[in-house]
Structure 1
Amino acid sequence: MPLLILPATALVIMLLVLPMAGLLRISLNQYSPTELMVEAVTGENYLNAITDPFYQKILLVTVAVAVSCTVLSLLLSIAPAYWLARMQSRWKSALIILTLFPLLVGNVVRAAGWMAILSTDGALNAFLGLFGFGPYKLLYQPAAVVFGTAAVVMPYMILTLSAVIEAIPRQTEEAATNLGAPPLTVLRRILLPQAAPGVVAGCVLVFIMSMNAYATPVLLGGPNFTMLAPAVYDQFVRVGNWPFGAALAFLLLLSTLVLTVLVNFALVRALKRKSL
């Protein structure tokens, strides 16, 4: 049995552990405008990233966007996930493929589509103009980033919830309905507690992807809206400060891990409380 996991373990070590170890070593070096990087062992880059108000604000914005995307995608995914899970039709497989179809398109292409919809002369403002409203500045706003990122991650949430709901016996819902429970009570007291593993898994997955989003915030947020992933890119590519960029990357990784554990814990507690 140990021999069977050796190839996968070697692959993880070569493609994940070793590059991260190298990045960690870079983050401990010092930046020099002339030499770019000076060999050293210092925590100065981490201290600057944590204490600088500019990057503190970027971290808060990143967390706020990730939480907003998680909540929005969960609320928008419950209905289609339930409908897909309970569907008894030969078209079910086609609808699952249709749900997966957006994942075949790159994030840049999808963000460009949202730019065409949300721009001042875009489709949404043109539609509102038919009723005498607008035009409104919808692009390069935090809301545009939240909706655009939520649209990117929603297929993962829908498929995760659908798989869990499909495993829940329909008879439990029918029994509650026959006893007089309204639909919202059935959802809150019967369906959600049993679907808790899927809700937690979907929220954690969406939260991680939203925390590390790059293309959507850059294209929909504009130059004045920055999250941690674009900030890491700027330090590596535009500024050339590799040590500080590596420190920001590990700060993003650490904050994502810590917040993922907290989100997981909070969701489990909330779902248990609702089931009581």
Structure 2
Amino acid sequence: MIVYFSATGNSKYAAERIASALNEKAMSIEEGCYDITLEDGECFGIVTPTHWWALPIPMREYLQKLRLHRHGKHYVFIASTYGTTVGCSGEEARHLLRDNGIHLSAVYSIKMPDNWTVTFNLSNKEKVARQNEAAEKNINKTIAKILDRKKGCFITMRTPYAFHKYTDKVFAKVRMTKNLYVENSCNGCGLCAAKCPVKAIEIKDGKPVWVKERCALCFRCLHHCPQFAIQFWNGATKKHGQYTNPNVKIIE
């Protein structure tokens, strides 16, 4: 089985590609798959984005709850998708899984377009298409190693595990929901509230309202808003466009 978290489709697409190559099933962690039984020789893979040099909040919480019931030997791996760096996401996953008695066989990284449009401009569709073409090659290389059941660390652009203590403190401030706002173009469709992975949004008086002090800041709401009405802090996201992976439909 391959489990994944995905806000804008990159990790979902990578997970589905890997699962297809392994003749396995890809499942979102939002389906609540916390108890998993592995038979002898089976693979178990985790595909996750990198958020602020570490694991996304939903994936972090999932790995803390995950229970693997195993019979025999298995190949367990994690693949972190990233735009600029995987940070310490792989090492963080290793620590969280080890606390639950689960040991990783391999750690991978897959470079894909970065949806953090506070910084990165994804409005140039041709440039984004080239990034996704390059991502195909990255996915193929990762799949080849997984099929060979390579063991070890196969990631690039990482940071020391201890670094996450600093980035977590900064991220806690950045992901305060007061940093998000809704423009008048909002039509009250409710998609953002229905699909928020941490249930931080509710529709009140026909408009989305953040009901939690912090969210996962995955930008699913921003990138999937049909009116592009949800923006972040200084408005840089407005000029940098929206992004969803062209190969998958992340929100049904």
TM-score, normalising length: structure 1: 0.18
Greater helix share, 1 or 2? Answer: 1
Greater relative contact order structure (CA < 8 Å, 6+ sep) = 1
TM-score, normalising length: structure 2: 0.19
Greater radius of gyration (CA) = 1
